[in-house]
C-alpha cells in the first residue's frame, strides 16, 4: 500500500469512527458533513454509514483537501472525545456499587438508519439508551437484529393497506460485528431440538452506551432457524418463543463471553424474561450452587418493567411448546424439572393446563416491578393481583416510573436553537429542574415565530412526502400535482399519528363526519389535519379504519384539509411532532399504559389534547392543554365513544380553535402562547427521558446493585439463609392463629390488644398490623402493633398492642400478620399473609 492509499484509508477510518456511533442521530453537528458527501442519499436515508460506503475515493480526497471540511471533522472528533471524557451526572454520584446495567428489549428506536422497531416499546428503549449515554449511566443493551424488521406500509389508490418487508442489509446498517480478544467473530450457540442454533452478535455504539444485537441468519444454521430474527412481531407462537429464547438466553451469554459483569438486569417488558433463568444458570455454574439458590441470589438484581395494560397483551406459550424447546435446558442446565420450570411462569403451579406466561416469569424472577405511568401502575396491580392471593390490590408490589422521551432526538432545528439560546446546548446532560424558569422568560413574539417556522417546515415536508406517496400508488397526475400545494402554513394544524388499533380509537374524530368537515372547512377559522399510522397486517379492523379515513379524505370538501401520510416511521414522527400545533390522542382509558407520542411535541411548543390516560392523566392541568374524558373507566363502550366524540368536537370548536385565532394587536395569539410557554416550562423537563433514567438509577438500579451484591456475596451465602427462612415460614405459617382481640376507645384512638399463637416461629420474623383499605381518597391504614412478649404460662402466644386514630369506623380495621424479613422483598418473594376472620 502506497502513501496515498494509506492516507485515503486513514481518512475513511476517521469518518467510519464517526459514522458507526449513532450519537449523530441526536447530535446534529455532523449533518453538514454527511450532506457534503452525498446530499441526495443523505436526505433520503439519514444513514452516515451508508453514505460513507457509497462515496467515491475521489470525492473523499477532494473533501479532505478542503480545510473547512477537515476542520469540521476535527471538531466532531473532539465532540466524540469529550463525550467519552467529560464528567457525567452519574459519575458525580460517586457510587461504586453500580458498574453495569444489562438492558433487554425486543426493539429499539434509535434512528431510521436502523429500522428494528415497531413503535412505543422501541421508542422507550431507544430514548432511555440515549439518555443513559448523555448522563453516563453504564448501560449495556441487548436486542435482536431483524433482517426485515417491522413491515413497511403502502396505501394503494383504493385506500387498502399493503405490507412489504425490505431487507436490512447488515453491511449498510451502522453496526459492526463483535469479535473476541483473539479476533474471532463472536457467535453464541443455543441448543434446540434437532439442531443447535448459532447466533451472530453485532454492536451499535450509542454514544457512551453499547447495544448488542443478535442475528440468527448464520450460514451454519438449519434453514428454518436462519429466519428466527427475520421479522419483528412476525410469525406464530413458536417463532415468538424462539425469538425470546435468543433474546434472553443468548443475550445473557454475551456478557459471559465478553466478561461483562452486570449487577442489574433490566427487562423492558416480559419478552426477555428468559434472561433471569440464564443469569441464574451462570451463577450456578460459577459458584456450584442449586438453581433455587442461584435465582434467590440474583433475583434482587433483576428489574421488570411492564408496559401491558391488558392481560391479553402477555406472551403465553403452551406447556407442550415449553417442554419441546426448554425441557432439556431445564433438566440438563438448570437441573430442575419441567414442572418447576413451568411453575415460574404460572399463577397456579398445580394447574397442568395453564399456559406459560412470560410476564409471570419476569415477576417471579425479579426483585422489583414497575409500570410506566402512575395510572398504569394501578392497572398493573390489578392485572398481577392473581400472583398475590389474599393481598389487597394496592399492596401488589408494583410501583412506577413514568416514561419520558429523549428531547434532543425530537426537537426541531428551530426549537433546539431557541432552547440553546435560553438554556445552553448541554441542558439535557445533568439535572433539568431549573430549565422551566428560563423558558418562562422567552417573549411571546419569539415563541410565535418559532412555532410559525416549525409549522411551515412540516407543511413543506408533508407536501413532498404525500406527492411521492400518491405517485407510487398510481394516483392521477392531477392529484399528485395538487398534493404539492396542499395545506396552508398559517392554519391551525392538528396531528394524529399512532398504531391503528381499536382501543386507540383512531376514528373517534370521524364519529360525526359532517361535524368534523364543518370544523375543518370553517372559512374564518380553518383547521388542517395530518394523519398517519399502521394497522398490524393481521388486524383487519385496524385496516378498515385506515380505509375509512382515506374515503373521507376523498370527498371534495375534505381533500384540502386532511391528509393521510403512509408508512409512519421515525422520520415522519420527527417532522410531525416538530410542526403540529396540537397533538390529539384518543385511547380508551385505561388501555394506554403511558403513550409517549404526545411528549415529543412538548419541546417543540406543541400542545396536547388527549384522553386522561397514561402520562396525560398525571400531566394535565387546565393551563397546559386540553383533556378528554372524565378520568373514569366506563363499561358501555359504544355510549362512551359517542359522548367523547361529541366532547372532542366541542373542545375544538369552543376552546382550541378560538384560542389559536384570537390575536392581539401584533397578530400574536397571546393566550395560546402563554399555554405553549407553560407546557414547555413545566412538562418538557418532567417528561424527558433524562428524568426517567435518573429516576430508574436512583430508585431502582442503585438499590438493586447493592441488594444483588449482598445476596451474591460468598457464593450466595445469604441466599441460602433466605431459602431456609422461607421454608421455615411456610412450614409453620398454617399453624398461626389469632386469639382474643380487645379494642378500647381512649382519647380519639382505638387501642388494640391482639393475642397471636405463633407456634415455633420467631416473633422477630412476624409483623402484626391493623389494616384498613383506602377509602374516599384516604390512604390505606397499616399500623404495626408492638410485641409485648408471650403471655404468662404460654410462651407460644404473644400479646401485640398499639393504637389507631379514630377517623374510620372500627369495623373497617382488621388485624393481620405478614412476614417481617428485612432481606426479602415482601410480598414479591414470599406472599404469606394471615387475616383475622
pLDDT (tens digit per residue) in 260-295: 999 999 999 999 999 999 999 999 999 999 999 999
Residues 132 and 264 both lie in one domain: yes
Residue 832: closest CA among 752, 736, 764: 736
In a domain, 693, yes or no: no
- Compute the half-sphere exposure of residue 574: CA atoms within 13 Å on the CB side of its CA: 19
Residues 344 and 548: their CA atoms lie apart, in Å, by 45
Residues 468 and 374: their CA atoms lie apart, in Å, by 42
The boundaries of the domain holding residue 473 are 411-424+433-665
Domain boundary among 85, 117, 151: 85
Cis before 688 (ω within 30): no
Q: Using an 8 Å Cβ cutoff, are 445 and 666 in contact?
A: yes
Neighbours of 373 (CB within 10 A): 27
CATH of residue 323's domain is 3.40.50.2000
Q: Using an 8 Å Cβ cutoff, are 590 and 468 in contact?
A: no
Residues 573 and 633 both lie in one domain: yes
Residues 499 and 536: their CA atoms lie apart, in Å, by 8
SS (H, E, C) 32-91: HHHHHHCHHHHHHHCCHHHHHHHCCHHHHHHHHCCHHHHHHHHHHHHHHHHHHHCCCHHH
Verdict on whether the full-model pTM lies above 0.85: yes
Residues 441 and 535 both lie in one domain: yes
In a domain, 682, yes or no: no
Q: Using an 8 Å Cβ cutoff, are 110 and 206 in contact?
A: yes
In a domain, 175, yes or no: yes
In a domain, 681, yes or no: no
In a domain, 233, yes or no: yes
Strands 626-628, 607-611: pairing is: parallel
Q: Is the dihedral of CA 64, 68, 69, 72 positive or negative?
A: positive
In a domain, 450, yes or no: yes
Residues 383 and 396: their CA atoms lie apart, in Å, by 10
Residues 116 and 143: their CA atoms lie apart, in Å, by 9
Burial of 665 (0-12, 13-18, 19+ CB in 10 A): exposed
Residues 72 and 151 both lie in one domain: no
Helices (H), 86-199: 89-93, 120-135
Neighbours of 245 (CB within 10 A): 21
Residues 792 and 827 both lie in one domain: yes
Confidence at residue 193, expressed as pLDDT on a 0 to 100 scale: 87
Helices (H), 662-788: 670-678, 684-686, 689-696, 702-733
Phi, psi of 17 (to 5 degrees): -60, -40
Q: Is the dihedral of CA 467, 469, 471, 475 positive or negative?
A: negative
CATH of residue 815's domain is 2.60.40
Domain boundary among 40, 62, 85: 85
Residues 257 and 254: their CA atoms lie apart, in Å, by 5
| Residue 830, SS3 per DSSP | coil
Residues 773 and 24: their CA atoms lie apart, in Å, by 52
Residues 704 and 578 both lie in one domain: no
Neighbours of 292 (CB within 10 A): 18
Domain count, the chain: 4
Residues 503 and 574 both lie in one domain: yes
Residues 241 and 111 both lie in one domain: yes
In a domain, 572, yes or no: yes
Residues 295 and 215 both lie in one domain: yes
Residues 382 and 511 both lie in one domain: no
Residues 70 and 135 both lie in one domain: no
In a domain, 671, yes or no: no
Query: How far is Cα of residue 305 from the mean position of the Cα atoms in its chain?
Result: 8
Residues 644 and 513: their CA atoms lie apart, in Å, by 15
Place of cell 398490623: 769
Domain boundary among 66, 85, 104: 85
Confidence at residue 4, expressed as pLDDT on a 0 to 100 scale: 58
Phi, psi of 497 (to 5 degrees): -145, 125
Residues 43 and 118 both lie in one domain: no
Q: Is the dihedral of CA 143, 208, 692, 458 positive or negative?
A: negative
Identify the segments of the chain with pLDDT beneath 70. 1-8
Confidence at residue 5, expressed as pLDDT on a 0 to 100 scale: 57
What distances in angstroms separate CA 336 from CA 242, 295, 343, one per listed residue? 21, 12, 11
Amino acid at each position: 500500500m502506497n502513501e496515498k492509499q494509506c492516507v485515503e484509508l486513514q481518512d475513511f477510518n476517521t469518518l467510519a469512527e464517526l459514522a458507526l456511533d449513532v450519537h449523530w442521530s441526536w447530535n446534529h453537528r455532523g449533518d453538514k458533513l454527511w450532506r457534503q458527501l452525498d446530499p441526495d442519499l443523505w436526505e433520503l436515508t439519514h444513514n452516515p454509514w451508508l453514505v460513507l460506503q457509497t462515496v467515491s475515493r475521489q470525492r473523499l480526497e477532494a473533501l479532505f483537501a478542503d480545510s473547512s471540511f477537515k476542520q469540521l471533522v476535527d471538531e466532531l472528533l473532539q465532540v466524540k472525545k469529550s463525550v467519552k471524557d467529560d464528567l457525567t451526572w452519574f459519575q458525580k454520584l460517586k457510587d461504586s456499587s453500580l458498574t453495569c446495567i444489562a438492558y433487554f428489549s425486543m426493539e429499539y428506536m434509535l434512528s431510521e438508519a436502523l429500522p428494528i422497531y415497531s413503535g412505543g416499546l422501541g421508542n422507550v428503549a431507544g430514548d432511555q439508551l440515549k439518555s443513559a449515554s448523555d448522563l453516563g449511566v453504564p448501560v449495556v443493551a441487548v436486542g435482536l437484529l431483524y433482517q426485515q424488521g417491522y413491515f413497511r406500509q403502502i396505501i394503494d389508490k383504493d385506500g387498502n393497506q399493503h405490507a412489504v418487508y425490505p431487507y436490512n442489509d447488515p453491511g449498510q446498517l451502522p453496526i459492526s460485528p463483535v469479535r473476541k480478544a483473539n479476533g474471532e467473530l463472536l457467535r453464541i450457540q443455543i441448543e434446540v431440538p434437532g439442531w443447535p442454533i448459532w447466533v451472530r452478535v453485532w454492536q451499535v455504539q450509542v454514544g457512551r452506551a453499547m447495544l448488542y444485537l443478535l442475528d440468527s441468519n448464520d450460514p451454519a444454521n438449519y434453514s428454518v432457524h436462519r429466519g428466527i430474527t427475520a421479522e419483528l412481531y412476525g410469525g406464530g407462537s413458536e417463532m415468538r418463543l424462539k425469538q425470546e429464547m435468543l433474546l434472553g438466553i443468548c443475550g445473557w451469554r454475551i456478557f459471559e463471553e465478553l466478561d461483562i459483569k452486570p449487577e442489574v438486569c433490566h427487562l423492558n417488558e416480559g419478552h426477555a424474561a428468559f434472561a433471569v433463568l440464564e443469569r441464574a444458570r451462570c451463577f450456578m455454574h460459577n459458584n456450584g450452587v442449586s438453581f433455587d439458590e442461584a435465582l434467590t441470589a440474583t433475583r434482587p438484581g433483576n428489574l421488570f418493567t411492564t408496559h401491558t395494560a391488558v392481560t391479553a397483551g402477555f406472551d403465553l406459550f403452551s406447556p407442550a411448546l415449553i417442554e419441546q424447546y426448554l425441557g432439556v435446558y431445564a433438566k440438563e442446565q438448570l437441573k430442575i424439572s419441567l414442572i418447576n420450570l413451568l411453575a415460574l411462569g404460572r399463577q397456579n403451579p398445580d394447574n397442568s393446563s395453564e399456559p406459560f406466561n412470560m410476564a409471570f416469569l419476569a415477576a417471579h424472577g425479579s426483585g422489583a416491578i414497575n409500570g410506566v405511568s402512575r395510572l398504569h401502575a394501578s392497572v398493573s396491580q390489578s392485572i398481577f393481583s392473581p400472583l398475590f392471593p389474599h393481598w389487597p390490590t394496592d399492596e401488589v408490589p408494583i410501583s412506577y416510573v413514568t416514561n419520558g422521551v429523549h428531547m434532543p432526538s425530537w426537537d426541531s432545528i428551530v426549537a433546539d436553537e431557541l432552547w440553546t439560546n435560553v438554556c445552553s446546548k448541554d441542558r439535557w446532560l445533568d439535572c433539568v429542574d431549573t430549565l422551566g424558569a428560563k423558558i418562562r422568560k422567552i417573549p411571546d413574539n419569539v415563541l410565535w415565530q418559532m412555532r410559525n417556522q416549525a409549522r411551515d417546515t412540516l407543511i413543506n415536508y408533508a407536501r413532498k412526502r404525500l406527492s411521492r406517496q400518491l405517485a407510487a400508488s398510481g394516483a392521477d397526475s392531477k392529484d399528485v400535482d395538487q398534493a404539492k400545494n396542499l395545506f396552508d402554513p398559517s392554519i391551525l394544524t392538528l396531528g394524529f399519528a399512532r398504531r391503528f388499533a381499536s382501543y386507540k380509537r383512531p376514528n373517534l374524530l370521524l364519529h360525526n363526519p359532517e361535524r368534523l368537515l364543518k370544523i375543518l372547512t370553517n372559512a374564518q377559522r380553518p383547521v388542517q389535519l395530518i394523519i398517519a399510522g399502521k394497522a398490524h397486517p393481521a388486524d383487519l379492523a385496524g385496516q378498515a379504519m385506515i380505509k375509512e379515513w382515506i374515503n373521507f379524505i376523498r370527498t371534495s370538501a375534505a381533500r384540502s384539509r386532511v391528509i393521510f401520510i403512509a408508512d409512519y416511521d421515525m422520520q415522519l414522527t420527527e417532522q410531525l411532532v416538530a410542526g403540529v400545533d396540537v397533538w390529539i390522542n384518543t385511547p380508551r382509558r385505561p388501555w394506554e399504559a403511558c403513550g409517549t407520542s404526545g411528549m415529543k411535541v412538548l419541546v417543540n411548543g406543541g400542545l396536547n389534547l388527549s384522553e386522561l390516560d397514561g402520562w396525560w392523566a398525571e400531566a394535565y392541568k387546565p393551563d397546559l392543554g386540553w383533556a378528554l374524558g372524565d378520568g373514569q373507566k366506563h363499561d358501555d363502550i359504544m355510549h362512551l365513544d359517542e359522548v367523547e366524540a361529541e366532547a372532542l368536537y366541542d373542545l375544538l370548536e369552543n376552546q382550541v380553535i378560538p384560542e389559536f385565532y384570537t390575536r392581539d394587536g401584533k397578530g400574536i395569539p397571546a393566550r395560546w402562547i402563554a399555554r405553549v410557554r407553560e407546557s414547555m416550562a413545566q412538562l418538557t423537563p418532567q417528561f424527558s427521558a433524562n428524568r426517567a433514567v435518573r429516576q430508574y438509577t436512583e430508585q431502582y438500579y442503585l438499590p438493586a446493585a447493592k441488594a444483588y451484591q449482598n445476596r451474591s456475596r460468598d457464593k450466595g451465602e445469604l441466599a441460602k439463609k433466605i431459602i431456609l427462612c422461607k421454608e421455615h415460614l411456610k412450614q409453620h405459617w398454617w399453624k398461626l392463629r389469632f386469639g382474643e382481640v380487645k379494642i378500647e376507645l381512649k382519647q380519639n384512638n382505638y387501642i388494640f390488644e391482639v393475642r397471636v399463637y405463633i407456634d415455633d416461629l420467631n416473633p422477630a420474623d412476624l409483623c402484626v398490623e391493623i389494616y384498613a383499605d383506602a377509602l374516599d381518597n384516604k390512604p390505606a391504614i397499616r399500623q404495626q402493633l408492638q410485641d409485648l412478649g408471650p403471655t404468662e404460662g404460654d410462651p407460644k402466644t404473644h400479646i401485640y398492642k398499639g393504637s389507631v386514630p379514630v377517623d374510620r369506623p372500627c369495623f373497617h380495621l382488621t388485624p393481620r400478620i405478614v412476614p417481617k424479613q428485612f432481606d426479602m422483598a415482601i410480598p414479591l418473594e414470599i406472599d404469606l399473609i394471615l387475616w383475622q376472620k
